Chain A
Amino acid sequence: MATQPGNVERLFGKAMKRREDPRFITGRATFTDDIKLPGMTYAVFVRSPLASARIRGIDVAKARAVPGVRAVFTGKDMADGGVKGIPAGWLLPDIKLTDHRPLAVDRVRHVGDAVAVVVAETPYAARDAADLVEVDYEELPAVADAVKALAPGAPQVHENAPGNRCFHWEIGDKAKAEAALKGAAKVVKVSLVNQRLIANAIEPRACAASYSPATDELTLWVTSQNPHVHRLIMGAFVLGIPEHKFRVIAPDVGGGFGSKIFIYPEEVAVSWLTRKLGAPVKWTAERRESFLTDSHGRDHHSQVEMGFDAHGKVAGLRVKTVANLGAYLTLFAPAVPTYLYGTLLNGVYDFPSIFCEVDGVFTHTTPVDAYRGAGRPEACYLLERTMDIAARTLQLDPAELRRRNYIGKDRFPFQTQVALVYDSGNYAPTLERALKMVGYEHFRTSQAEARAKGRYLGLGISTYIEACGIAPSQVVGSLGAQAGLYESGTVRVHPTGKVTVLTGSHSHGQGHETTFAQLVADELSIPIDDVEIVHGDTGRIPFGMGTYGSRSGAVGGTAIHMSLEKLKAKGRRLAAHLLEAAPEDVEFKNGRFSVKGAPDRGKAWAEVTLAAYLAHSMPAGMEPGLEETSFYDPSNFTFPFGTHIAVVEVDIATGRTELLRYVAVDDVGNVINPTIVDGQLHGGIAQGAAQALWEWATYDDNGQLLTGSLMDYGLPRADQLPKFETDRTVTPSPVNPLGVKGAGEAGTIASTPAVANAVLDALSPFGITHLDIPLTPAKVWQAVQDARGKGKG
C-alpha cells in the first residue's frame, strides 16, 4: 500500500504516458457532438456569401415549410428577443468597439457572417431548409487587406471607426529610440508580413444547449477553453441569464490553439434557441464553417528599423505594425497585437531603446484573435528574421550576432524597454547546446560542398522568449483586461483518502489529467490512480479562467499546489492532535504523519483523512472535512526561452523546401512530465514550420477566402517533418513555487523564424535577402528566377 512508509517514487519530472489517452484512442471520449439528449433538435446557420452587404430582406417562408423544421430566426428576431451584441474583453484607450450581433441585423461584414438560423428535427432537414432561406443582399464594396483599409477612400467596415482604425497603440520611448537609430553605425530596415493563419483544431466548434423549466437552469455544452468566461460573458452581457442558473460544460475538447477561447455567435444563438423552442438544440460546425468563422490568427504588416553600433551591438529598435483585426472585435483581439506583442519586442536582446506603434484595423474578413502564441510569435519572427538580415548586412555570423546581444545571465530580474520584467533567463547555453547538436562548425563546410554540386542547404537559428501565465490581475486590469488572470484549484480529499481535484484550467490536449495528478500524487504520496482531475464544468468547479497563453502549469498548477499545502497543514494539525504531539513536531513524509524522531508514532494518510470526516476527535476550533480551495494570482509572467535550429534543402528546380533536421533546446523551467512537454514542442514546431512553409489564409480583393478548405490550406503532415532533436536546459522560474514556466506555445514561437531563416540562408547565393512567409515553392521558384534574371546565382 502506497500510503505506508517507504520510498515513494517521485512523479514530478517523470515521463508518464497520458492517463486520458486510452479513452481518446479507443473512441470513448465525450466531445460536444457526442452529447445526445431526448428530443434533440439541430441548428444550421445561413451565412453571408458576400464580404460586405446590406441586408434588404430575408424570406424564410420556404425554409419554414420544409418538413421537420421547427423554426427559422433572423438577426432581427434575436435582437427583438433581447439578445445583445458580443463584447470585447480587453479595452484600449480610444478603442472603437463593434456591435457584434450573433446574427447580423442589417449589415454583413465578412463572408460567413451568420444572418439566420434554422432549427429542425434532423440536421438534414435543417440543412435542406437553410438552403431555401432567401436573403436579399445589396452588395457593398469590401476591403480585406489592412494596409489598403487604412488608405483614404477605402470601404468602411464600421461607421464609428473612421478610416477603419480601431485603435492606435504605442509602447516604449519614441524620442530615445529615434535618437538611438540616428546615432547608430548601421540601421537595418525591413518590411515584414506575418501572414494570416487558421487554427484548424481537429474537432470543429460545436455547442448543445438544454433548458429545464423545472429548475429554470440552462446548460450549454460547448467547445470552450474557458467555460467560466463563457458563462460570465454570455450570461451577464449577451443573454441576460443569471449566472447561478446557467451551467457551461466544456467536455472533451479536441484542440483549441486559442480559437476556442472566444464567445461565438452560434453558442449564443443555440443557448437562446433552446429556451425559445423548449427543446435541446445542437450545432456542430462543418470544416468550411471552421475556415470562415473560427477566429483567425496573426495578419501583421510591419516596418522594422534595427540599429547597431560599430561592434554589432543592438542600439535601438523601432517597429510600426498594422494589425488586421477582421470585421469584429472578439474577446482578446485588442490585446493580441498590443500587450501580447509590443511587450515582447525586447526579445532576448539587450536593446537600449525600443519604440513600437500599432494600428489595429477593421477589414471585411473573419475576426482575428489569439492563435497559439498570440502576439509572441509575431514579435519573435520580427526580431529573429531581422537579426538574420542584420547578420548578413553586418557580415557577421548569425550565431555570433545573437551571442553578442543576449541579455547576460547576471541581469535578472531584467527590466525590458517595453514594460515587462523578465523573471529569469540564461540564453547563451541554449544557443551553444543547439549549435553543438546540429554540428554548426561542420555545417558551413558541407553547405559549401553541396552548393558546388548544385544543392542548396540552409541553416536557420532562432532564439526566442515566450511570456506565459500573463498576470497579475491588478496589472492586466490597469492595461484594459476586463477580467482577472488568476486560477482556482480545489483539492477535495474524500474520507478514504482518495482525491478529487477541481481545476479552473481546461485541458483540450494539454494533458492536465496526467500532469496535475502527478503533482497531487507526489505531494500526498498516494497512488496516481487515487487522484481524479475534474475540469471544464461550471456546475462542479469554482470560478476559473481556463487555459490559454501557456498558463495552466504555472498558474493552475500552483493553485492546486497551494491547496495541497493547506491540506497538509490541516492534516498535520489533526494528526498531531490524534498523536498527542505538538503540530510542529509532526512531519508528513512518504504518505504518513509521524512524530519527528519517533517514526513509530504516526498515522497513515487515510487514517487522518477518515478522522477528518468522522470528526470524533478534532483539535479545538478545527472544522471537520478535508477540502481546500485556492485562487492563485501570480506576481508576474514566466518567461521560457530557448534556441531552435532548422536545416533545410531547397530544390531550386521546384522551389520546394525539405526540412532535413530540426534541433530544439528549450528552457521551460522545471518539467513535470517530459513526454508531455516534448509533445507540446513537437506539435508547436510543426505548426510554426507550417507557417514558414505552407499555411496561408488569403483573401481576394472582394473579401472571398481563397484558402477556405483543406484542399487549399496547407496544414502540416507527419511526412513533411523530420525527427525533432530536442534537449533542455532548466532555469526554474522564481515566480511560482513549482518553478515551472509553460511549454504550450514555445515550439510555435521559435520554429517559424528558424525555418524561414534556414530557407533564406539556402537562397543566399542568389542574393535573396528576404521573402515573406509562407515560403511556398512557387514563391521561392519565382524569386530564384528573378535573381537569375539579374545574373545572380
Chain B
Amino acid sequence: MYPAPFEYHRAASAQDAVALLGKYGDEAKLLAGGQSLLPLMKLRFAQPRHLIDVRRIQGLSGIREEKGMLVVGAATPYATLAASALVQAKLPMLSEAAAQIGDPQVRNMGTLGGSLAHADPAGDLPAVALALAAEIAALGPRGARTVHADDFFVELMTTALAPDELLTEVRFPLPPAGSGGAYEKYPNPASRYALVGVAAQLTVAGGKVTAARVATTGLATKPLRALAVEAALQGKAADAASLAAAAEKATDGLKLRAAAQMPDAYRRSLAVTFTARALTRAAKRAGG
C-alpha cells in the first residue's frame, strides 16, 4: 500500500522525458497509466527513486491514419483504442483486444505504450502488435528509431528498448483488401490476464490464405509468433478443416512458462482451441 520514497517528475515533452531518463538512469522509471508499475511499487517489488510521468505529454496520445498506417500514440489509453471508430473499422482486432483488458478503471488509465514496454508475458496487446506486424517508435539520446514488433519482445518483461529510450508511438500497417484479424482470449478467472490469448491476422485471396501472422500470449515468458501455425496456413484453403489443422500446431516448439494450478496439457489444449477460434473469426472477417 505504501511505496518506498520516490521523486515525481512530470515530463513536459518527449525530449524532456528522455533527458530526465538520462539524468536519473537506473533509478528512474517511466510512468504512463501506472496500472502495472504502481501495484508493483505499492507491494515494494519495484522501488524506483524517480518516476517520470509521460502521460500528459502533448502529442504522445491519439490515433491517426497516415500513409497506409494506423498510428497510435504511446500514451493512448486502452479505452480510447476500444472505443475508436477508426480502429474498429481498420483494425478490429486491436479494439477488441483493448476492450478485454482488466476492468473499466484499468482501461481508462492503462496505455498501449505502457503495455508493450512492460511486456507482461500475459499482456494482450503485445500479441496483437506481433500479429499486426507493428512498427514501434522510440526516442532516445541518440535520436529516434523504429523497432519491428518481431524484434521488440526480448525476454520476460524485457524489450528492445534501451533504458534511456521512450516508446513514442506504434504504427500498425493497414492490411490489404481481403484481410481480417481477430483476438481470442481465455482470461484467468481471478486476474483477467490472458491464460491464453491468440491474435490472428489473415489475408485471403481466391479462398486461399496468402498471408498469416498468428501470435500467442500467456503461454511462454514472452509473446510469441506461432510460426508453425502460420506455415501450416500458407497457401491452404481458408476453410474450417484447414484452419483447425493449423491451429493444432499452436504450441509447436513453444516452451511453457510455469502457471500455478494450470496443467501444461490444459494450457496447450486451450491454445489450440483459442487459435482455432481466432483463425475462424479472422478468416470470416477476411471474407474467406
CB distance from A412 to the nearest CB of B (A): 42
Are B266 and A778 interface neighbours, CB within 8 A?
A: yes
Question: Which chain A positions have C-beta within 8 A of B269?
Answer: 653, 781
| Contact mask for chain A residues 111-143; partner B; CB cutoff 8 A; 1 contact, 0 none | 000000000000110111001000000000000
Known: A654-B270, A785-B265. A712 touches B260 (CB 8 A): yes
Q: Determine whether the beta carbon of A781 is less than 8 Å from that of B266.
A: yes
Q: What are 25 A-B residue pairs whose CB atoms fall within 8 Å in the complex?
A: A124-B2, A124-B5, A126-B2, A127-B1, A128-B4, A284-B1, A653-B269, A654-B186, A654-B273, A656-B186, A707-B190, A710-B190, A711-B190, A711-B191, A712-B190, A713-B190, A714-B190, A715-B190, A776-B261, A777-B189, A777-B266, A778-B262, A781-B269, A782-B265, A782-B266
Cβ-based interface call for A236 (8 A): no
CB pair B191–A712 under 8 Å, yes or no, is yes
B189 touching A694, Cβ below 8 Å:
yes
A127-B2, A654-B273, A778-B266 known; A710+B186 contact, CB < 8 A: no
Across-interface contacts of B44 in A (CB, < 8 A)? 127, 131
Not counting A123-B2, A126-B2, A286-B1, a sample of 13 additional A-B residue pairs whose C-beta atoms are within 8 angstroms of each other reads A123-B1, A127-B2, A131-B44, A653-B269, A656-B186, A694-B189, A710-B191, A711-B191, A711-B193, A712-B190, A714-B190, A782-B263, A782-B266
Q: In whole angstroms, what is the CA distance A782 to B266 when docked?
A: 7
Report A746-789 residues with CB < 8 Å from chain B CB. Answer: 776-778, 781-782, 785
Closest 5 CB pairs of A and B: A711-B191, A714-B190, A127-B2, A714-B189, A653-B273
Write out, one digit per residue, whether chain A residues 79-103 have a CB within 8 A of any chain B CB (1) or not (0). 0000000000000000000000000
CB closest residue in chain A, given B191: A711
Question: B-facing mask of A274-305, CB < 8 A → 1, else 0?
Answer: 00000000001010100000000000000000
Whether a CB of chain A sits under 8 angstroms from the CB of B43 is yes
0/1 interface trace, chain A 715-754, chain B, CB 8 Å (1 if under): 1000010000000000000000000000000000000000
What is the interface of chain A, defined by CB distance below 8 A to chain B? 123-124, 126-128, 131, 284, 286, 288, 653-656, 693-694, 698, 706-707, 710-715, 720, 776-778, 781-782, 785
Q: Closest CB-CB distance, A417 to chain B, in whole Å?
A: 39
Residues of chain B within 8 A (CB-CB) of A655 are 266
Using an 8 Å CB-CB cutoff, how does the interface string of B37-54 with A read, 1 for contact, 0 for none?
000000110000000000
Q: Which residues of A contact B266 (CB under 8 A)?
A: 655, 777-778, 781-782
Residue interface mask B170-205, A partner, CB < 8 A = 1 = 000000000000000010111101000000000000
Minimum C-beta distance from B195 to chain A (A): 9
Of chain A, the residue at the smallest CB distance from B270 is A654
Docked complex: B235-275 residues within 8 A CB-CB of A: 260-263, 265-266, 269-270, 273
Q: Chain A contacts of B261 at CB under 8 A?
A: 698, 706, 776, 778
List chain A residues, Cβ under 8 A from B1: 123, 127, 284, 286
Q: Chain A residues with Cβ under 8 A from B5's Cβ?
A: 124, 128
User: In the assembly, what is the distance between CA of A288 and CA of B262, in Å?
Assistant: 22
Q: Which residue of B lies closest to A695 (CB)?
A: B190
Q: Among the listed B189, B260, B273, which residue makes an inter-chain contact with A706, where contact means beta carbons less than 8 Å apart?
A: B260
Among residues of A, the one whose C-beta sits closest to the C-beta of B190 is A714
The tally of residues in B whose CB lies under 8 Å from a CB in A reads 21
B residues within 8 Å of A by Cβ?
1-2, 4-5, 43-44, 186, 188-191, 193, 260-263, 265-266, 269-270, 273
Shortest beta-carbon distance from A220 to chain B in Å: 22
* Residue on B nearest A774 in the bound complex, by CB: B189
CB nearest to A287 among chain B residues: B1
Q: Which residue of A lies closest to B274 (CB)?
A: A654
Give the CA-CA distance A712 to B270 in the complex, in Å: 19
Cα A654 to Cα B276 in complex, Å, equals: 13
Given the complex of chains A and B, what is the CA–CA distance between A722 and B53 in angstroms?
Answer: 41
Query: How far, in Å, is B220 (CB) from chain A's closest CB?
Result: 18
Among B4, B193, B265, B270, the most chain A Cβ lie within 10 Å of the Cβ of B270
Interfacial chain A residues near B273, Cβ < 8 Å = 653-654
CA distance A693 to B190 in the complex (A): 11
CA distance A288 to B2 in the complex (A): 13
* Alpha-carbon separation in the docked complex, A126 to B263 (Å): 41
With a cutoff of 8 Å between Cβ atoms, the chain B residues found around residue A706 in the complex are 260-261
Known pairs A124-B2, A286-B1, A654-B270; A778 contacts B189 (CB<8 A): no
Chain A nearest Cβ from B144, distance in angstroms: 36
A654–chain B nearest beta-carbon distance, Å: 6
CA distance A776 to B190 in the complex (A): 11
What residues on A are CB-neighbors of B265 within 8 Å? 782, 785
Say yes or no: B270 contacts A288, CB within 8 Å. Answer: no
Residues of A within 8 A of B190 (CB): 694, 707, 710-715
Task: Provide the residues of chain B in CB contact with A710, threshold 8 Å.
Answer: 190-191
Q: In the complex, A126 Cα to B261 Cα: how many Å? A: 35
- How far apart sit A126 and B1, CA to CA, in the bound complex (Å)? 12
Q: Give the residue name and chain of the B residue nearest to A652 (CB).
A: B273
The distance in angstroms between the C-alpha atoms of A286 and B42, with both chains bound, is 10
Within the complex, the shortest CB–CB distance from A223 to chain B, in Å, comes to 16
Which A residues are in CB contact (< 8 Å) with B263?
Answer: 778, 782
In Å, the complex CA distance between A128 and B1 comes to 12
A778 to B265, CA, bound (A): 10
User: In the complex, how many angstroms separate the beta carbon of B120 from the nearest chain A beta carbon?
Assistant: 12
B4 contacts which chain A residues (CB < 8 A)? 128
Bound-state Cα–Cα, A711 to B260, Å: 11
Q: Which residues of B contact A715 (CB under 8 A)?
A: 190
Q: Report chain B residues within 8 Å CB of A714.
A: 189-190
Task: Give the shortest distance, in Å, between B75 (CB) and chain A (any CB).
Answer: 25
CB distance from B197 to the nearest CB of A (A): 13
**CA of A128 to CA of B260, assembled, Å:** 31
- Least CB separation from A128: chain B residue: B4
Complex CA gap A781/B2 in Å reads 40
The CA of A131 and the CA of B273, in the complex, are separated in Å by 45
Closest-CB distance, A774 to chain B (whole angstroms): 9
Cα distance, A785 to B43, chains bound together (Å): 39
Name the B residues within 8 Å of A128 (CB-CB).
4-5
Q: How far is the CA of A654 from the CA of B189 in the complex (A)?
A: 12
Residue on A nearest B5 in the bound complex, by CB:
A124
Q: A547 to chain B: closest CB distance in Å?
A: 28
Instruction: Tell me the bound Cα distance from A124 to B47 in angstroms.
Output: 13
Cβ distance B147 to chain A, nearest Cβ, rounded Å: 30
Q: With A706-B261, A781-B266, A781-B269 in contact, is A288–B43 under 8 Å at CB?
A: yes
Interchain CA distance A778-B263 in the complex, whole Å: 7
CA distance A656 to B270 in the complex (A): 11
In angstroms, Cα B273 to Cα A653, docked, is: 7
Chain B proximity of A759: nearest CB distance (Å): 14
How many angstroms from the CA of A706 to the CA of B265 in the assembled complex? 21
Residues from chain B with a CB closer than 8 A to the CB of A777 are 189, 266
Q: How far is the CB of B44 from chain A (nearest CB, A)?
A: 7
- Give Cα distance in the complex from A713 to B188, angstroms: 10
Q: Which residues from A are CB-within-8-Å of B2?
A: 123-124, 126-127
CA distance A781 to B269 in the complex (A): 9
**Chain B residue with the shortest CB-CB distance to A720:** B189
A residues less than 8 Å from B188 (CB atoms)? 711
Nearest opposing residue in chain A for B273, CB measure: A653
- A193 vs B265: C-alpha distance when bound (angstroms): 25
* CB-CB nearest in chain A for B44: A131
* Distance in Å: Cβ of B98 to nearest Cβ of chain A: 17
* Cβ distance B268 to chain A, nearest Cβ, rounded Å: 11
* Distance from A596 Cβ to chain B, minimum over Cβ atoms (Å): 62
Residues of B within 8 A of A284 (CB): 1
A776 to B262, alpha carbons, bound, how many Å?
10
Instruction: Tell me the bound Cα distance from A713 to B191 in angstroms.
Output: 8
